[in-house]
Amino acid sequence: MSEDLWFTMGKIPARLPGDLFYARNHMWARAEGGQWRLGFTHYAILLMKDVYFLEWHISEGDIVDASQEIGHIETSKAESALYTPSAGTLTRFNPLLLNDPSAINTDGYGNGWLFDLETPALEFMNAGDYLQFLTANWDKTQAMLKGKMNQIEDDDS
């Protein structure tokens, strides 16, 4: 088992479990029974804040393309479409989240998982590569967040 890594978002640390793999769209992946279980990384959860609505636009058993929109999420910070990190067959949604997605906020690496994906080839990063990816893109993320905050302040005026 690999050691957990940490990415510091300002003063807030985001945990990156060393035994998971990571996608560029800030989902973690764990091999489970010939497929991959996916969920949001701690980094993504910290950026989103409280998830309160989750909706899927496809069904279990559907074949999906890489970067295909598969759902919609609403949080206290934003509304966003959800995309697959890889092509394959979406085999199962987390039934716990269908009525109450709050487990994403409280147990993102456990009971807050999103879906299972059967796929032949995933291009996931290990924790070290994901940490480098986050570090390389942190300035852009901060600028984007600052821009959104300025937009919200302008809208309130």
- The string of pLDDT tens digits covering residues 53-66 is 999 999 999 999 99
Tens-digit pLDDT profile for residues 9-44: 888 999 999 999 999 999 999 998 889 999 999 999
The answer to whether 27 touches 119, Cβ cutoff 8 Å, is no
Indicate which CATH number applies to the domain containing 106. 2.40.50.100
Domain that holds residue 144: 5-156
> What's the whole-number average pLDDT of the chain?
89
Domain count along the chain: 1
Confidence at residue 34, expressed as pLDDT on a 0 to 100 scale? 85
What are the b/e assignments for 108-117, b being 16+ CB within 10 Å? bbeebbbbbb
Confidence at residue 135, expressed as pLDDT on a 0 to 100 scale? 94
Confidence at residue 154, expressed as pLDDT on a 0 to 100 scale? 47
Give me the mean pLDDT over the 139-154 stretch. 62
